[in-house]
Amino acid sequence: MKANLTVHTQSHDYPIVITSQCDLAKEVAPYIKGKQVMVVTNTTVEKLYLQALVEGLQADFEVLTMVLPDGEQYKTQQYIDQIYDALMDNHCSRDVTLIALGGGVVGDMTGFAAASFMRGVNFIQIPTTLLSQVDSSVGGKTGINHPKGKNMIGAFWQPQMVLADMHTLTTLPQRELSAGMAEVIKYALIMDADFLTWLEDNMSALMSLDKVVLAEAVARCCQYKADIVAQDERESGKRALLNFGHTFGHVIETHEGYGKWLHGEAVAAGMVQAAQLSQKMGWISEADVQRISKVLQSAQLPIKPPVIDTQIALDLMQHDKKVKSGQIRLILLKSVGEAVVTADFDQSLLEAVLTETL
């Protein structure tokens, strides 16, 4: 099984290749520029896939590796500097290709290093988690965290290709699979009510790692994102819809400490909070909120945020990248399958959602 999608952007078009199992090196080799390659991965993925990829590339390329610690808490300037140091120490030139082999943290950091080293070099995404396959590897968002806010430092930098191999999902811990499913469910809630029904019908197969069903879900999500990125590469408008649940979720991640809650777990709880505010505004029903909660629970995701002081949560929301002229803007649901970006909500309703415990 193999599927190819294309992402259209102003800088260049690139493919998303979705396979059930493949030779990683063979797939990415045509998209490598020059002879120098650096594969960036983490300590977990290193043990699983790094050796085969490096051995597959060594016949034709000079291959360097950079193995980072595994975790959101390492998505910082300190560890980006380790990538820069290795590139400099090995006299890498502007035609080096960086390959991100791992989940969203590895992809974001490798992409940011590629965007900023010598003002921009070639890079390739090989996402090995569900979350990174359906979301962070596509669309060119790269970056690192700051102690005061998630993903506050970064750049838009499109990869040359994305290779999503369903086989890599078979080595995912259950918690990571669930975290990725949050982003899958997000697409249904903001763009396609029929997809939500499909997910409800197929959740058991997805959680059981049925590769055919997983590939269909990944392909659908990548197509949704590719369509949005083609319209709004740098998130000046419609692309912000992809942040449904994220403003609330980033509060959880920042407050609790990066890595304590996985990104998808925080987004899941955040989507329930966003749905609750949408319901309080009269846009969706209580039954819709319950349906959203139920499908998230079926993916073994949390639906309750940790206890966070309301004023602290509001202060953290002010660091969100969607804030304009001091106004918090949220992605809310007009209906299941239709989302909007709005600053037109009653502050007291937002505070009520932040104060409530489910």
Amino acid making up residue 123: F
Q: Which of 27, 122, 141, 220 is catalytic?
A: 141
Q: Tell me, yes or no, if 234 is annotated catalytic.
A: no
Q: Tell me, yes or no, if 119 is annotated catalytic.
A: yes
CB atoms within 10 A of CB 173: 11
Q: Which of 27, 176, 235, 253 is catalytic?
A: 235
- d(CA 258, CA 278) in angstroms, rounded, equals 27
Q: Tell me, yes or no, if 141 is annotated catalytic.
A: yes
Q: Tell me, yes or no, if 225 is annotated catalytic.
A: yes
Q: Tell me, yes or no, if 263 is annotated catalytic.
A: yes
CB atoms within 10 A of CB 231: 11
Q: Tell me, yes or no, if 175 is annotated catalytic.
A: no
Kindly list the distances between the CA atom of residue 303 and the CA atoms of 95, 252, 272, in Å, as whole numbers in the listed order: 46, 12, 6
70-98 burial, b at 16+ Cβ within 10 Å, e below that, comes to bebebbbeebbebbeebbeeeebeeebbb
Q: Which of 150, 186, 220, 225 is catalytic?
A: 225
CB atoms within 10 A of CB 308: 18
Q: Which of 75, 150, 220, 239 is catalytic?
A: 239
Q: Which of 246, 255, 280, 329 is catalytic?
A: 246
Q: Tell me, yes or no, if 91 is annotated catalytic.
A: no
Q: What is the phi/psi pair of residue 16, to 5°?
A: -110, 115
Helical pair 263-280 and 174-191, crossing angle rounded to 10 deg: 30
Q: Tell me, yes or no, if 12 is annotated catalytic.
A: no
Q: Which of 72, 183, 216, 233 is catalytic?
A: 183
Residue 191, Cα to own-chain centre: how many angstroms?
A: 17
Q: Which of 150, 186, 255, 263 is catalytic?
A: 263
Q: Tell me, yes or no, if 243 is annotated catalytic.
A: yes
Strand 149-156 and strand 97-102: the pairing is unpaired
117-135 burial, b at 16+ Cβ within 10 Å, e below that, comes to beeebbbbbbbbbbbbbbb
Which two three-digit tokens encode residue 47?
């043990």
> Which active-site residues does the annotation give?
119, 141, 183, 225, 235, 239, 243, 246, 250, 263
